[in-house]
């Protein structure tokens, strides 16, 4: 019998969850518990707000009181600044969940006292920690000490002692620092804080700004190493953990209607797979938004939530335009089933759009997401960046079993069977709308370029907009190919006339046959009458002849009988001798 050797359980680093949306997923649980973490970045990138939210979430979600020691802003300024995020620091301070301590450092005052150390800082911080039983500490920004205190050699030695002291106290600490030119911080604080280093970045590219976060170092723990976009809004920090998205999402066999009956018939009569990604592409004015509106209306009728991202039209304009084809989207907005997110692509950077999309989806929790159109993100030479962003959105939606429909404008210079954003490989069902120019007319056509996992029609259908929505007409093929518009009408009239002529010819032939049938039937009737007359006469003659024959036979018999009796009379009698 083979004995299995059980490996000892792997020890894991104890984590202190931050409660910041997305960040704990990146760091596999939060910051290292009982250790200091360096958060560095340039001015305005969100270091202070990161530290404040770390304390607030710890106090409200995990019952871990915290101390915020500031070297720049006063307590009153901090309380006012974070009110916009919905954080009521005054209430938390009153309930001894958070303690604020502003340390005022003035270089001129320090120079008058001569040599110094940070013993006073240790005493103040220790008192604040002990007064509320703090488990978390934020020092913001400790580099102000370098500006206020002249002897940096002594200061560096004191900082090493401070960080060791924080570890001894067993508190989870965040130290914020300003970004240096060639180093993570101006004074090289990363040399002292070696457990976890986080860099926040606020960059401007082509007049659009983006905030990003990167975990540079995390001793004793796995973590995401990419740059992650993050938002600072009315709810605080939210980080987008893009690297955690893989290709292991669950797929569904359920089918949902496109909202266009004829289009469903082209897709096995069942529509799209739930959780799939649909692309509707084509040149300007072919009806891409109309197809998207049909899909949104059909989902709302099923009682599903739809999140509609508009990047070219305002929601009111889109709803007004859709009313012209009989689609009334405003009623679903009123019922809370349809929500619009209207933003110009230039309002945010690409990463910020990605983060906003994640945040909106997580808040509204839709079954359907529509983005109309996605090609507007391409500004300058950003095709690769746009493709990366859309890939992350597709993976995120698939991971949540959300059906996505994208529209994309195809430029007239490029091939129709290609997408300007280069995401065709990510698409499950691709509908292509095209212009069909014939005989001086411009008409619309639709066909299914591909649809994974199902049989689909290979026909090009004429695509028309009516008062009752989109209609797909049956394929009409003439001598020169598929016909649309007036050419189709003319061909239909010509064929209808030919059909009418054939019907008339058939009717004429039927009448001729009927007349011949009647003539034939009259002749047959006459022959029947003649036959019956001759038959009657013949039967009478036969009967007369038969009677004559019978009479003759009786006469012969009677004659024979008569002759026999005469012979008997003439025959002599014989005498008997006795």
DSSP letters along 405-454, please? Answer: EEEEEPPTTS-TTS-TT--GGG-SEEEEEEEEEETTEEEEEEEEEEETTS
CB 477: neighbour CB atoms within 10 A?
12
Q: Tens of pLDDT along 26-56?
A: 888 899 999 999 898 888 888 999 999 999 9
Q: What is the mean pLDDT of residues 61-69?
A: 93
| Secondary structure class of 13 (helix, strand, coil) | coil
Residue 298, pLDDT score: 94
Least confident range from 270-279, 410-419, 488-497, 531-540: namely 410-419
Q: Output the CA–CA distances (angstroms, integers) from residue 55 to 17, 62, 161, 341, in the order listed.
A: 11, 10, 23, 32
Question: What sign does the dihedral 19-39-356-233 (CA atoms) show?
Answer: positive
Q: Does the pLDDT at position 556 exceed 70?
A: yes
Residue found under tokens 């301070």: 93
The pLDDT of residue 347: 75
State yes or no: is 72 an active-site residue: yes
Predicted local distance difference test score (pLDDT) of residue 7 = 45
CA torsion angle 209 210 211 214 (round to 10):
-140
Q: What is the average pLDDT value for the chain, to the nearest integer?
A: 81
Asked whether residue 578 carries a pLDDT value surpassing 60, the answer given is: no
Is pLDDT of 186 > 90?
no
Region of poorest pLDDT, from 110-119, 272-281, 318-327, 380-389: 110-119
How does residue 482 score in pLDDT terms, banded at 50, 70 and 90? low
Q: What is residue 192's predicted lDDT score, i.e. its pLDDT?
A: 64
The structure tokens listed for 416 are 């129709």
**Per-residue model confidence (pLDDT) at position 309:** 93
Q: How far is CA 127 from the centre of its chain?
A: 54
72, 73, 313, 492: which is the annotated catalytic residue? 72
Report the top-level CATH class of 15-244.
alpha beta
- pLDDT value of residue 5: 44
- Answer left, alpha or beta for residue 293, where phi above 0 means left and psi between -120 and 50 means alpha: alpha
Helix (H, G, I), strand (E, B) or coil at 53: helix
- The larger pLDDT score, comparing residue 306 to residue 377, is at 306
Helix axes 350-364, 383-399, angle to 10 degrees: 20
Mean pLDDT for 209-213 is: 80
**Active-site residue flag, 312:** yes
Q: Among 226-240, 241-255, 285-299, where is mean pLDDT lowest?
A: 241-255
208-218 sheet: strands from edge to edge: 98-102, 66-70, 136-140, 172-178, 36-41, 196-205, 208-218, 228-233, 236-239
pTM: 0.66
**Mean pLDDT of the 490-494 span:** 69
Average pLDDT of the segment spanning 169-191: 77
The Cα angle at residue 346 between residues 341 and 351, in degrees rounded to 5 = 75
3-state SS, 57-70, equals HHHHHCCCCEEEEE
Cα distances (angstroms) measured from residue 557 to each of 15, 543, 548, 553 = 143, 21, 14, 6
Q: What is the pLDDT of residues 360-404, one digit of tens each?
A: 898 899 999 999 888 877 665 566 777 777 888 888 888 889 999
Q: Would you say residue 114 has pLDDT above 60?
A: no
The residues near 413 (Cβ < 8 Å, ≥ 6 apart) are: none
pLDDT of 98 > 70? The answer is yes
Highest mean pLDDT among 155-169, 304-318, 500-514: 304-318
pLDDT, position 293: 94
Residues in CB range of 460: below 8 A, 6 or more apart: 436, 445, 446, 447, 475, 482
- In the chain, the percentage of residues whose pLDDT exceeds 70 is 80
Please check whether the domain covering 255-483 is classified as CATH 3.40.50.300.
Answer: yes
Give mean pLDDT, residues 547-567. 79
Task: Give per-residue pLDDT as tens, 511-540.
Answer: 888 888 888 888 888 888 888 888 888 888
Task: Catalytic residue, from 25, 262, 312, 492: name it.
Answer: 312
Q: Which residue has the higher pLDDT, 455 or 571?
A: 455
Per-residue pLDDT, averaged over 309-334, amounts to: 92
More confident of the two residues 414 and 286: 286
How does DSSP classify residue 400?
T
Element (H, E) at 179: none
In which band, very low, low, confident or very high, does the pLDDT at 443 lie, cut at 50, 70 and 90? confident
Query: Dihedral through CA 72, CA 74, CA 79, CA 85, nearest 10?
Result: -20
Percentage of the chain modeled with pLDDT above 90? 27
Please give the helix or strand (H or E) that residue 254 lies within, else none. Answer: none
């Amino acid at each position: 019998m083979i004995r299995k050797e059980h490996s000892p359980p792997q020890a894991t680093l104890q984590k202190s969850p931050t409660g910041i949306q997305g960040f704990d997923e990146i760091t596999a649980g939060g910051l290292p518990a009982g250790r200091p973490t360096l958060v560095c970045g340039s001015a305005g990138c969100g270091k202070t707000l990161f530290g404040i939210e770390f304390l607030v979430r710890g106090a409200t979600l995990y019952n871990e009181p915290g101390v915020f020691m500031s070297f720049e802003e006063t307590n009153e300024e901090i309380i006012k600044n974070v009110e916009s995020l919905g954080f009521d620091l005054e209430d938390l301070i009153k309930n001894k969940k958070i303690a604020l301590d502003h340390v005022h450092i003035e270089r001129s005052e320090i120079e008058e006292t001569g040599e110094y150390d940070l013993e006073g800082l240790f005493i103040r911080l220790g008192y604040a920690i002990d007064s509320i039983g703090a488990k978390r500490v934020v020092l913001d920004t400790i580099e102000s000490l370098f500006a206020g205190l002249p002897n940096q050699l002594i200061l560096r030695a004191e900082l090493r002692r401070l960080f060791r002291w924080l570890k001894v106290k067993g508190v989870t600490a965040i130290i914020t620092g300003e970004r240096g030119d060639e180093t993570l911080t101006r004074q090289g604080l990363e040399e002292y804080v070696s457990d976890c280093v986080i860099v926040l970045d606020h960059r401007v590219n082509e007049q659009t700004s983006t905030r990003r976060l990167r975990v540079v170092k995390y001793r004793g723990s796995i973590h995401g190493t990419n740059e992650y976009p993050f938002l600072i809004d009315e709810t605080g920090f939210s980080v987008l953990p893009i690297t955690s998205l893989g290709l292991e999402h669950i797929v569904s066999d359920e089918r949902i209607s496109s909202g266009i009956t004829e289009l469903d018939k082209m897709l096995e009569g069942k529509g799209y797979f739930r959780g799939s990604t649909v692309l509707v592409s084509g040149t300007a004015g072919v009806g891409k938004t109309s197809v998207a509106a049909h899909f949104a209306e059909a989902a709302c009728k099923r009682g599903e939530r739809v999140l509609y991202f508009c990047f070219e039209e305002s929601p009111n304009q889109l709803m007004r335009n859709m009313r012209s084809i009989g689609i009334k989207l405003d009623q679903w907005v009123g019922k809370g089933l349809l929500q619009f997110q209207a933003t110009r692509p230039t309002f945010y950077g690409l990463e910020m759009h990605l983060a906003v999309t994640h945040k909106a989806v997580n808040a509204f929790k839709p079954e359907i997401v529509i983005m109309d159109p996605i090609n507007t993100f391409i500004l300058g030479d950003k095709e690769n960046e746009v493709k990366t962003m859309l890939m992350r959105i597709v993976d995120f939606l698939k991971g949540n079993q959300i059906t996505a429909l994208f529209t994309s404008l195809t430029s007239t210079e490029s091939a129709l069977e290609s997408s300007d954003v280069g995401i065709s490989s990510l698409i499950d069902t691709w509908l292509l709308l095209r212009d069909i120019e014939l005989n001086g007319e411009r008409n619309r056509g639709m066909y299914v370029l591909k649809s994974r996992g199902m049989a689909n029609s290979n026909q090009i259908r004429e695509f028309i907009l009516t008062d009752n929505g989109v209609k797909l007409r049956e394929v009409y093929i003439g001598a020169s190919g598929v016909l649309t518009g007036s050419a189709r009408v003319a061909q239909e009239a010509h064929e209808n006339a030919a059909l009418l002529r054939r019907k008339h010819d058939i009717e004429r032939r039927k009448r001729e046959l009927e007349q011949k049938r009647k003539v034939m039937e009259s002749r047959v009737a006459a022959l029947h009458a003649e036959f019956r007359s001759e038959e009657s006469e013949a039967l009478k003659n036969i009967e007369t002849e038969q009677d004559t024959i019978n009479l003759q036979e009786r006469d012969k018999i009677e004659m024979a009988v008569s002759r026999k009796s005469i012979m008997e009379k003439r025959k002599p009698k014989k005498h008997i001798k006795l």
